[in-house]
């Protein structure tokens, strides 16, 4: 006897589910291997062990910067293929030099001496302890690692720019155009980004994994930038912070920034 | 019932063709945007949301305003609205479709939009916005279409429709509250970081939405030979009046807090909005138009004699719509970014392609409204 | 039984058949040869054992899954080494590992991708060393 419409639909539904289910486990692509010590690859020399920390942080001492120096910016942008679009509208930068009254609006006042007001202050992503950008990201394309670094997953980013609205520090840049033609000198050891995603400083996590410090820290000839583990009492950053007063940007907002400024 | 949209007067055909042309032009420019990137718009590193998100913000309000017809009728048996709740639901469908389209064209990587569902992020307001907007769309499509279909057949709607319609009432409030929460929870944006953001959104929604509905009813009476009834239109007008007054009041209390406290961080944004900063005063000039129009419309609406004269009512409704579109569709979003966290002032001017895409999406929404209302009018005639 | 609108229906069916069979009649007599993959890069020639990360048949069907797992592991978990099924350890990097050996993308990767019409977006960001040198 021919099936009723109801029976037919039931069978069709079950069959459809049966067709979809089997390939599902393989879609998860569970292939991750175990991280092994002593990474070996035919053409690459034996690398340094990765730098690890419980809580990465950076200290900045603008008083040490020599006037007109932009070595940290140049090093960072070269290392990471950050484009130069040549106009403020499309501008992408991971680190920039700003004025004291813009970085510390609450602390600055009209009677600060020129020795302070003319200081160039490096500004970058603060890799906050309580990052609002991570909170608002609808795809978790930006996320916080256990060691404190706020990461960007450029594969997952949909370019909604909610993170840019949420960041109280102006640390993030959107690729409003294809960045490739605007990269002065491509560093083949690091990918570029594509148009339509938001990017920012990553505390050089790929260099930390290779056992070297961030590009800006190494490039600074005046040693104005220090980088290390806040939980290690003998790290560079702790030694500097233990010396006296340090400031963070907009601490009243509760973001817990991890870039500390000593003026 | 869709076939009813395919037959119409010559004027109807010309209107539909015109809208389709605008949609096609918008689509063409969207393809250019896909190729070039969002840099084809006027958005920048400092002003990272512009016309698209602003339109979405304004239109969520229009979508929510269907509740102003549904609530009195379904909860309080206000019979005068009985004929036109469907108009509100169809307007909601069109508005939500426009919202979703505006969000989509604003994405830098639209092909990855499903990531929002593949990697649900409950801490992100944008995730919840996707959920509630699509839920509201589904609700209104199902209830509107079912009720209209039953009217066509001359039978009462099935029992399951009523709970869905009742559900759409708190859901309408939720879509606009969630959209307000996109703005009002961001620590670095003092202009938006105010609890009154959600109430402001609702007040302007309940003014601009019903104002648009009144205009549609007047148009339908003129061109569609459908009369919503004097009582319905006048009640809607009173709703617009109260909502507009509330919306203006909310703006004024915001100004009080900003300027009486004399806190620079609070004042800067409002100064930019109403007076301009350092000579950057394009937004301020638009806001002056918005303020004047709002006041003039409020006067026309408050005085019963002018409110009852439908020609003046139509003018007032256009004024309400325009005023609130400027305020929510331009002023709100851009001002949140100026001054930037580093205290720079960056002007935002929408570009030609951006305006073309925006116009195309508005045309799409009007097309949806036109088609739905045409079907509605044809069903009514039977 | 009368066929109403017969002219339009028959015409519609004919148009449909022409469009639906387009791939078959348009390409007839124009056979496209199978992709010819070149594995003679300097890096591969230097290898003692000509083995990829995993065996070639596995890589042929699953390289995208492997890369996807590498991507999630490297970006989101910080896992930068991969132990293959036979115990060899590799650095997780498309440009640094895969393209180190397969440095001839145009004569290798592109051959199959073009043939199958696959357009991986990876190259928007990940650098192809030969194009940048």
The answer to whether B209 touches B65, Cβ cutoff 8 Å, is yes
pLDDT class of B326 with cuts at 50, 70, 90? very high
Compute CA B331 distance to the chain's CA centroid, rounded to the nearest angstrom. Answer: 14
What does the radius of gyration of chain C's CA atoms come to, in whole angstroms? 23
Token readout for B277 is 């900063």
- Its domain, for residue B328, covers 208-214+233-349
Chain A with chain C: Cβ pairs closer than 8 A: 87
Cis peptide before C3 (omega within 30 of 0): no
The answer to whether A207 touches A101, Cβ cutoff 8 Å, is no
Verify that B302 and B315 share a domain, yes or no: yes
Query: How near does any CA of chain A get to the CA of C50, in Å?
Result: 12
Verify that B368 and B340 share a domain, yes or no: no
The answer to whether C50 touches A4, Cβ cutoff 8 Å, is no
The answer to whether A50 touches A37, Cβ cutoff 8 Å, is no
Token readout for B377 is 């009018």
* Vertex A39: Cα angle to A33 and A43 (nearest 5): 120
Distance CA A189, CA A56 (A): 23
Q: Which residues of A touch C52 (CB under 8 A)?
A: none
The CA distances from residue A187 to A214, B180, C95, C128, in Å, are 15, 43, 12, 11
A80: CB partners within 8 A, 6+ apart: A94, A187, A190, A202, A215
| pLDDT at res. A22 | 52
In degrees rounded to 5, what are phi and psi of residue A59?
-115, 145
Compute CA B193 distance to the chain's CA centroid, rounded to the nearest angstrom. Answer: 21
pLDDT(B9) > 90: no
Q: Which residues of A touch B342 (CB under 8 A)?
A: 98, 102-103, 123, 170
Q: Which residues of chain A, if any, have pLDDT below 50?
A: 23-42
Verify that B265 and B371 share a domain, yes or no: no
| pLDDT at res. B65 | 87
Q: Would the CB atoms of A174 and B110 count as touching at under 8 Å?
A: no
Verify that B261 and B374 share a domain, yes or no: no
> Chain A residues contacting C, CB < 8 Å?
26, 29-36, 38-44, 50, 143, 145, 151, 153-155, 180, 186, 188-194, 205, 209
The answer as to whether B97 is a domain residue is: yes
Interface test with A, best of C61, C124, C129 (most A CBs within 10 A): C124
Nearest to A259 by CA among A123, A163, A168, A140: A123
Question: What domains are defined for chain A?
Answer: 56-261 (3.30.70.20)
**Element containing residue A79 per DSSP (H, E):** helix A71-79
Search chain B and give the residue with CA nearest A161.
Answer: B48
Verify that B330 and B354 share a domain, yes or no: no
The percent of residues above 90 in pLDDT, for chain C, comes to 65
Verify that B251 and B312 share a domain, yes or no: yes
| pLDDT at res. A19 | 65
The answer to whether B120 touches A138, Cβ cutoff 8 Å, is no
Verify that B311 and B180 share a domain, yes or no: no
Q: Which residues of B touch A197 (CB under 8 A)?
A: 108-109
The answer to whether B295 touches B289, Cβ cutoff 8 Å, is no
> pLDDT: is B288 or C132 the higher one?
B288
The answer as to whether B165 is a domain residue is: yes
| pLDDT at res. A46 | 67
pLDDT(B382) > 80: no
The per-residue DSSP string of A107-137 comes to T--TT--HHHHT--EEEE----SS-HHHHH-
The answer as to whether B104 is a domain residue is: yes
Distance CA B67, CA B172 (A): 6
Verify that B37 and B175 share a domain, yes or no: yes
The answer to whether A149 touches C75, Cβ cutoff 8 Å, is no
Q: What is the pLDDT of residues C37-59, one digit of tens each?
A: 988 898 899 988 889 999 999 99
The answer as to whether B325 is a domain residue is: yes
Q: Is the dihedral of CA B144, B146, B150, B153 positive or negative?
A: positive
Distance CA B317, CA B65 (A): 14
pLDDT(B180) > 80: yes
Subunits close to C (at least 3 CB pairs below 8 A): A
In chain B, what are the helix, strand and coil shares in percent, each to the nearest 5? Answer: 80, 0, 20
Q: What is the 3-state secondary structure (H, E, C) of C12-40?
A: HHHHHHHHHCHHHHHCCCCCCCCCCCCCC
Q: What is the pLDDT of residues B124-154, one digit of tens each?
A: 999 999 999 999 999 999 998 899 889 888 8
Segments making up each domain of chain C, as ranges: 33-132
Task: Compute the average pLDDT of residues B90-117.
Answer: 96
pLDDT class of C31 with cuts at 50, 70, 90? confident
**Element containing residue A229 per DSSP (H, E):** strand A225-229
Tally of domains in chain B: 2
Verify that B264 and B122 share a domain, yes or no: no
Distance CA B71, CA B170 (A): 10
Distance CA B7, CA B375 (A): 10
Nearest to B211 by CA among B180, B165, B247, B167: B247
Distance CA B345, CA B45 (A): 11
Verify that B326 and B379 share a domain, yes or no: no
Distance CA A217, CA A230 (A): 16
Verify that B125 and B248 share a domain, yes or no: no
Distance CA A190, CA C95 (A): 9
Verify that B303 and B244 share a domain, yes or no: yes
In degrees rounded to 5, what are phi and psi of residue B190?
-60, -30
Residue at token pair 């160039």: A120
Q: Give the three-class secondary structure for C85.
A: coil
Q: What is the pLDDT of residues C99-115, one digit of tens each?
A: 999 999 999 999 999 99
The answer as to whether B254 is a domain residue is: yes
């Amino acid at each position: 006897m021919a099936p009723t419409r109801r029976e037919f639909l039931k069978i069709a539904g079950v069959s459809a589910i049966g067709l979809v289910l089997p390939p599902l486990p393989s879609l998860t692509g569970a292939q991750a291997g175990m991280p092994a010590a002593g990474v070996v690859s035919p053409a690459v020399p034996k690398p340094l062990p990765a730098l690890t920390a419980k809580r990465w942080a950076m200290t900045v001492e603008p008083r040490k910067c020599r006037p007109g120096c932009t070595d940290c910016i140049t090093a960072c942008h070269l290392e990471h293929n950050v484009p130069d679009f040549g106009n403020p509208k499309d501008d992408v930068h991971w680190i920039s030099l700003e004025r004291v009254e813009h970085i510390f609006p609450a602390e600055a006042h009209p009677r600060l001496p020129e020795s302070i007001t003319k200081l160039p202050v490096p500004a970058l992503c603060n890799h906050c302890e309580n990052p609002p950008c991570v909170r608002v990201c609808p795809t978790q394309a930006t996320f916080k690692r256990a060691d404190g670094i706020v990461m960007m997953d450029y594969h997952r980013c949909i370019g909604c720019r909610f993170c840019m609205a949420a960041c109280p520090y102006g640390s993030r840049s959107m690729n409003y155009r294809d960045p490739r033609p605007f990269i002065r000198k491509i560093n083949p050891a690091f990918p570029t980004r594509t148009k339509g995603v938001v990017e920012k400083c990553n505390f050089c996590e790929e260099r930390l994994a290779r056992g070297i410090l961030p590009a800006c820290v190494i490039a600074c000839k005046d040693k104005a930038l220090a980088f290390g583990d806040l939980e290690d009492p003998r790290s560079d950053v702790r030694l500097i912070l233990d010396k006296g007063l340090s400031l963070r940007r907009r601490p009243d907002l509760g973001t817990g920034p991890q870039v500390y400024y000593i003026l | 019932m869709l076939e009813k949209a395919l037959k119409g007067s010559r004027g109807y055909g010309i209107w539909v063709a015109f809208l389709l042309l605008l949609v096609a032009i918008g689509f063409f420019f969207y393809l250019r945007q896909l190729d070039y990137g969002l840099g084809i718009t006027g958005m920048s590193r400092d002003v990272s949301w512009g016309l698209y998100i602003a339109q979405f913000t304004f239109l969520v309000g229009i979508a929510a305003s269907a509740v102003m017809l549904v609530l009195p009728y379904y909860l309080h048996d206000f019979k005068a609205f009985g004929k036109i709740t469907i108009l509100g639901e169809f307007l909601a469908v069109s508005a939500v479709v426009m919202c979703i389209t505006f969000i989509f064209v604003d994405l830098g990587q639209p092909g990855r939009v499903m990531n929002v569902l593949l990697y649900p992020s409950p801490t992100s307001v944008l995730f919840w916005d996707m959920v509630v907007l699509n839920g509201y769309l589904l609700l209104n499509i199902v209830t509107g279409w079912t009720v209209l279909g039953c009217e066509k057949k001359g039978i009462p709607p099935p029992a399951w429709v009523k709970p869905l319609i009742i559900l759409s009432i708190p859901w309408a409030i939720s879509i606009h509250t969630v959209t307000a929460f996109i703005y009002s929870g961001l620590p670095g944006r003092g202009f938006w970081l105010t609890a009154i953001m959600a109430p402001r959104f609702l007040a302007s929604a309940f003014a601009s939405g019903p104002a648009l509905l009144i205009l549609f009813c007047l148009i339908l009476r003129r061109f569609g030979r459908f009369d919503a009834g004097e009582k319905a239109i006048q009640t809607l007008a009173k709703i617009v009046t109260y909502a507009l007054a509330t919306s203006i009041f909310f703006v004024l209390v915001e100004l009080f807090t900003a300027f009486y406290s004399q806190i620079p961080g609070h004042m800067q944004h409002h100064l930019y909005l109403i007076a301009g900063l350092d000579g950057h005063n394009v937004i301020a000039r638009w806001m002056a138009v918005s303020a004047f129009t709002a006041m003039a419309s409020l006067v026309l609406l408050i005085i019963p004699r002018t409110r009852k004269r439908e020609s003046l009512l139509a003018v007032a409704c256009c004024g309400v719509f325009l005023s609130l579109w400027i305020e929510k569709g331009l002023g709100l979003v851009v001002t949140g970014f100026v001054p930037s966290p580093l205290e720079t002032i960056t002007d935002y001017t929408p570009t030609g392609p951006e305006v073309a895409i925006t116009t195309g999406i508005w045309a799409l929404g009007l097309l949806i409204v036109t088609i739905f209302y045409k079907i509605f009018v044809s069903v009514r005639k039977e | 039984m009368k066929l109403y609108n017969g002219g339009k229906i028959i015409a519609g069916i004919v148009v449909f058949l022409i469009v639906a069979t387009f791939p078959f009649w348009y390409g007839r007599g124009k056979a496209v040869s199978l992709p010819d993959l070149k594995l003679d890069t300097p890096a591969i020639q230097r290898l003692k054992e000509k083995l990829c990360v995993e065996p070639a048949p596995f890589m042929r069907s699953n390289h995208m899954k492997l890369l996807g797992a590498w991507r999630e592991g490297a970006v989101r978990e910080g896992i930068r080494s991969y132990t293959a099924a036979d115990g060899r350890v590799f650095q997780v990097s498309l440009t640094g590992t895969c393209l180190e050996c397969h440095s001839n993308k145009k004569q290798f990767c592109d051959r199959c991708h073009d043939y199958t019409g696959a357009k991986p977006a990876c190259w928007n960001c990940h650098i192809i060393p030969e194009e940048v040198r």
